[in-house]
Amino acid sequence: MLLTTAQTSTAEQALERLGWYARRWGIEVFHRILKSGCRIEDRQLGTAGRLETCLAIDMIIAWRIHWLAVQGEKTPDLSCEVFLAEAEWKALYAHIHKRRPPQEPPTLAEAIRMIAKLGGYIGRKGDGPPGTTVLWRGLMRLPDLVAGWQAALRFGLGIRAGP
């Protein structure tokens, strides 16, 4: 039974209210990313304006992480380039697999698992898909991998861009 204050007198209205409620879990996950990943409650910025600016940036970050987790389940066969730049997926691939990246980018599902591994995801048979926490942690490490990858390419440290 779903209780609501919204007037509901037709089956179509009832289905609309159920649709609203079904979106609740996604909203909860988004707020958890803001609170646990972005740590918005720990911000001490002094003024409302500064807090609003910081919150706007944190909301974009939280949305991207939430989007990544959702799309990984809905459209796993997309190219990872819908989310990652070429240098990002190549650095990620090389780090995780300990070999040169392929010419073609991995799928979004493969990239998500690699990002999650950076964040501590083990990926055993019964573990289920990576969650937003390990994705957050992995994405926090990714810029350092990319910087190392680009430095290795720039200074010719034995890494080629392709296989």
Mean pLDDT estimate for the chain: 87
Is the CB of residue 33 less than 8 Å from the CB of residue 132? Answer: yes
pLDDT confidence tier of residue 159, bands split at 50, 70 and 90: low
Q: Where are the alpha helices (H) located in 8-160, listed in sequence order?
A: 11-22, 24-32, 48-74, 86-97, 108-118, 132-154
Q: In this model, does residue 43 exceed pLDDT 80?
A: no
25-154 has which CATH code?
Answer: 1.10.740.10
pLDDT confidence tier of residue 30, bands split at 50, 70 and 90: confident
How big is the chain by its Cα radius of gyration, in Å?
20
- Write the DSSP string, 142-163: HHHHHHHHHHHHHTT-S--S--
Residue 107: phi and psi, rounded to 5, are -75, 165
Q: What angle do CA 154, 120, 71 make, to 5 degrees?
A: 80
Q: In this model, does residue 161 exceed pLDDT 60?
A: no
Q: In this model, does residue 57 exceed pLDDT 90?
A: no
Percentage of residues of the chain with pLDDT beyond 90: 40
pTM of the complete model: 0.74
Residue 79: phi and psi, rounded to 5, are -65, 145
Is pLDDT larger for residue 142 or for residue 7?
Answer: 142
